[in-house]
Amino acid sequence: MKSNDPAITWVPEPKLGLAGKMYLPLVVQGLTVTTKHLFSPKMTVSFPEERPTIGNPLIYRGVHRLNKDEQGRVKCVACFLCATACPAHCIDIIGAESPWPDREKYPESFSIDELRCIFCGMCEEACPVDAIELTSLFDLTGRSREEMIFDKEKLLSVYDQTKDAEPSPMEREAAAR
C-alpha cells in the first residue's frame, strides 16, 4: 500500500492552542484526580493488627476447603473432575473404593498445592457434589513449601473453621427453605 492510495483516508492533525501546547488541560486533569484521592476515605489497613473487610465473602476466592456431608464424611467422590479442570495442575487425588454404600469411591489422599494454585475457582465449578470450595480466608502463611501443600485433613479442618461463617451452597439452599 502506498501513501497516495485513494483508499486511504488521511485525518488532519488537530490544531493546538497555547494551553494545549503547554499540556495545561492534562496537568489540570491530573491535579484533579490527585486532589480527589487526597480527600477520599483511606483504603489502607494495618494488617494483621486490623483485618480488612471483604465486600461479599461468598464470592471471594481464598483458601480451599473440602466439605463434609451430613454424616461428617468427606463429600468428595474422587471423580477427578477438579484435578482435570485445574489449569495449574495443583490438585492431586488418590481414589480408593468407598467403605460406604452410597458412593463408589472416596479420596484416600487429596492434596492441593496452595503455592501453585491460581485461585481461579475452576475446581469449585467442576465439582458435581460441591465437595471443594474456596473460602474467604486470605491470610495464607507457611514456613516452607511443604506446609503450603494442604492435605485432606488440613482441608477438612478449614471446613470446620469456616462452616458456620460460610455455609456451603447446599446448606444455604436448605436454610432458605
The three-class DSSP label of residue 31 is: helix
What is the pLDDT, as a whole number, of residue 172?
62
Taking the C-alpha atoms of residue 1 and residue 154, their distance in angstroms, rounded to an integer, is 64
Answer whether residue 162 shows pLDDT above 70. Answer: yes
Taking the C-alpha atoms of residue 16 and residue 5, their distance in angstroms, rounded to an integer, is 28
What is the pLDDT, as a whole number, of residue 54?
79
What is the pLDDT, as a whole number, of residue 170?
65
Asked whether the whole model's pTM tops 0.85, one would answer: no
Cell numbers 456451603 correspond to 168
What is the pLDDT, as a whole number, of residue 20?
87
State the DSSP H helix or E strand holding residue 28, giving kind and residue range, or none if neither: helix 24-39
What is the pLDDT, as a whole number, of residue 45?
87
The DSSP secondary structure of 95-112, one letter per residue, reads: EEE-SSTT-SEEEEEEEE
Taking the C-alpha atoms of residue 42 and residue 56, their distance in angstroms, rounded to an integer, is 20
Answer whether residue 12 shows pLDDT above 70. Answer: yes
